[in-house]
Structure 1
Amino acid sequence: MMILVVLAFIVFLLLGIPISLVLGMTTIVYFLTTGNTILLDSTPQRLYSGMENYGLLAIPLFMLTGELMNSGGITNRLVKFTRVLVGHVRGGLAYVTVIANMFLASILGSANAQAAMMSKVMVPEMEKEGYTRDFASALTLASSIVAPIIPPSMIFIIYGTLSGTSIGAMFMAGIIPGIIFGMGFIGLIAYMGYKNNFPKSEKSNLDQIWKSFIGVLPALLVPVIITVGILSGAFTATESAGIASVVAFVVGMFFYKELKWKKLPSILVNTVTGTATVTFLIAMANLFGWMIAFEQIPQLIANSMLSISDNPFVFLLLVNLFLLLIGTLIDGIAALIILVPVFMPLVTAFQIDPIHFGVIICINLTIGLLTPPVGTGLFIVSSIAEIRFERLVKAILPMLLLGIAILFIITYWEKSTLFIPNLLGY
């Protein structure tokens, strides 16, 4: 009977049905084909229980923060400030794309949202200065994967909720890996800029730098408050999301005066829509996970991996290879919700720190945004930047390989994720 369930899952995916519906429909097929129809009575309660977690409240609050910052002129000022600083060096606008993505990662926490927003802003600008659309689109997408790594991070919130790991600790664990990713992309740009003679813009004078810095100071309040607040223990990750929303509103409304009252309804609608999409996926994935647990699939996978090797290094290698494959087929958040309950017993058995493992699995599934055929980031940027899908896939290949190399460095360099959390007593 499980063969029919697997076939149903594959057929639903091939038909292009949204992954959230695929998970729910596959679970119903399982109930019907195995005769466990009595479980349908508990299905509504199961859907609700998957959402009943205080940590998930941070998701709509951080989405609201991002919407307020985009509408309030905060995002544009961060990009402009970065351009004033490094736009004059060879390949300067490419550096701006990476650094601006790192700035915005401390605000948005969603790679898809960041890729969509930066594609609208940076791809046309880079093309004007002489970069190819292929390279500009690929770099914008690739550098957006730091969004779920540098705090705040939606995917870290979900992992922390599922695994019982401190969300604050996960946020702090993402800082060094996020910087490593940023530096890796900067190094790649330096090499490609030297090889392909990338363009550069005029150098800004000290007066322009100073004015840009003064103008961006209120915008920097949001990431500073989030990071310092969590580091100092003044508030939790969820509370920091609420405070960040208030600060973004005040800065956009009263400092920059670009946030208008008439924009608030659309901002709230966008926040509700984005939150509903994510939470519906979480609810359906929780239902799918119930089916997996009922069939004792986690125990089967655990026993299989333990039979291969009892070495944690081998286990992490197998996990990475498995997740890279899964990331090409399933949305990252859905895969995370399904697989975390599967892997957590193994993480305990191999005595791997759950914070370190959380960073590994989140980075791995985020890389899936760059991989065909299901990489959602590829479809988003392909549509917004108006570039053919296959051209974008070809252009992003060097950045994808770099991302995988950095993933393995972080996997086997535990201190890269645990240094700051250990320093803060997590």
Structure 2
Amino acid sequence: MSSTAWILTAGFGTLVLLGMPFAFAIVLCVIAVVLTAGIEPMLVPQTLIAGTQSFSLLAIPFFMLAGELMTAGGLSQRLVRVADVLVRHLPGGMGLVVVVAALIFAAISGSAPATTAAIGAVMIPAMAERGYDRAYATALVVSAGVLAPLIPPSIAFVIWGVIAEQSIAKLFLSGVLPGLLMAGGMAFIVILQALRDKRPREPRARWPEVRAALREGIWALLAPLVVLGGIYGGAFTPTEAAVVACVYALFVGVVIERRLGWRQLPGVISRAMAISAVVMAIVAVSNGFGFLVAQEQLATKLASWLALHFHESWTMLLALNIGFFLLAAVMDEIAIMVILGPTLISIANQFGVDPIHFGAMMVTNVAIGMAAPPIGYCLFVGMAISGLKLWPVARAIMPFVLMMLVVLILVTYVPAFALALVK
């Protein structure tokens, strides 16, 4: 291999194993290649800026802001209460509340960290007070939080749509059934564990309580209908939908709920900007890294190697899933998508895999990576809320991760799970 190839593979891997943040590791490798390969230095900033100059990527900061506005405006608490009156009387009722509330909030924010933080801040303390193990509560919240990459509007699908140059609206639809299947799997685990532990059930909510919860939560429940209805009704694009979600959340928080004051807005905007800046920085530097990977023809070489060793599409998909999952366990998922996305797409095209189906498969893998130990992003969000260390949460989350892997297998080998609503 050339010196450039060594820097982009072994050099990058070494920096990551040494604990350097991914964005910095990527930047150092790009700079090292520029210095050693005699590439025009101005190419680096031009490539980094070009990587973020997509109208569709504007959806990321706006959906992040919408999630923060929803949380600050009290809509996440309203959603939790609605879910509580609907399912708390079932076996494992509090756990089912987490799953239902996360499903609804995911359809507003599109962000796994935002969903994990919003639901976790309410439900982890509440479950602990009701006698649930804190590690189990954290693991469940993290698992439910990563439904957000699959339930539209999804930031992960926005990024993949830009990389793959596919319809983001179709990609949104491809994640609905996998997301619901994953939520169903979580509910099954929750009920099974509740029956095994003989956990007492909560009393069924009476109709006046249900009616009051629905009346108070109506504005939160309408948010997904406004956002998704506008997208699929042709009223606005996914990026415009993100702006609409922000305006809606701001209006409800300030005018309707009156729990969001104007003095709180700078803090809310600042938190959304901080998270968005991290995501966009990773997208930018990963684009520069991906440019060098393409220039070195590493993608072509990998595709040729796979074509030589894997003659059937099912074996190729299995190999890609295993490789992607292992990388997602130790790398940032967005960086993986941006760096390897073009390579993976060319390989999928070579084997005749539908691009929308392939996108659903990759984003399902991304969702699992956000929860999987040792460095799943949402795992650390949940740990920050609960105050627990990695090992107890990692041990508690393994049944959920194994269930998610089963869903990934189904999505990979039964394309109807991804394409039934698209075609």
Query: What TM-score range do you get, normalising by the shorter chain?
Result: over 0.9
- Structure 2 distance, partners of 1:367, 1:4, is 29
- Determine if contact 2:59/2:158 at 8 Å carries over to the other structure: yes
User: Residue 158 of structure 2 aligns with which residue?
Assistant: 157
**How does 1:23-422 map onto structure 2 within 5 Å?**
23-32=26-35, 35-422=36-423
5+ residue gaps, structure 1, are: none
- Determine if contact 2:59/2:242 at 8 Å carries over to the other structure: yes
Deviation by residue 1:106-165 (Cα, 9 ceiling, x = unmatched): 012121222233222211111111111121111111111101100111110000001100
- Determine if contact 1:176/1:416 at 8 Å carries over to the other structure: yes
- Determine if contact 1:369/1:377 at 8 Å carries over to the other structure: yes
- State the SS of the aligned residue for 1:258: coil
- CA shift for structure 1 position 231: 1.8
- CA shift for structure 1 position 3: 3.3
The letter for the 2-side match of 1:256 is E
- State the SS of the aligned residue for 1:343: helix
- Structure 1 distance, partners of 2:150, 2:103, is 10
TM-score normalised over the length of structure 2: 0.96
- Determine if contact 2:145/2:378 at 8 Å carries over to the other structure: no
The letter for the 1-side match of 2:216 is G
- Determine if contact 2:68/2:114 at 8 Å carries over to the other structure: no
- Determine if contact 1:159/1:336 at 8 Å carries over to the other structure: yes
The letter for the 2-side match of 1:93 is M
Q: For residues 284 and 4 of structure 1, do their structure 2 counterparts lie closer, same or farther at Cα, with a shift above 3 Å needed?
A: closer
> Which 4+ runs in 1 deviate beyond 6 A?
none
- CA shift for structure 1 position 103: 0.8
- CA shift for structure 1 position 379: 2.4
User: Residue 12 of structure 1 aligns with which residue?
Assistant: 15
Moved more, 348-357 or 110-119: 110-119
- Determine if contact 1:360/1:410 at 8 Å carries over to the other structure: yes
- Determine if contact 1:131/1:199 at 8 Å carries over to the other structure: no
- Structure 1 distance, partners of 2:187, 2:39, is 56
Q: For residues 376 and 64 of structure 1, do their structure 2 counterparts lie closer, same or farther at Cα, with a shift above 3 Å needed?
A: closer
- State the SS of the aligned residue for 1:39: coil
Deviation by residue 1:1-47 (Cα, 9 ceiling, x = unmatched): 24355343233223322111111111212233xx3233322111111
5+ residue gaps, structure 2, are: none
Q: For residues 15 and 232 of structure 1, do their structure 2 counterparts lie closer, same or farther at Cα, with a shift above 3 Å needed?
A: same
Identity between Structure 1 and Structure 2 (%): 33
- State the SS of the aligned residue for 1:352: coil
Aligned length: 420
- Structure 1 distance, partners of 2:8, 2:247, is 47
The letter for the 1-side match of 2:314 is F
- Structure 2 distance, partners of 1:52, 1:109, is 20
- Determine if contact 2:88/2:96 at 8 Å carries over to the other structure: yes
The letter for the 2-side match of 1:86 is V
- CA shift for structure 1 position 223: 0.6
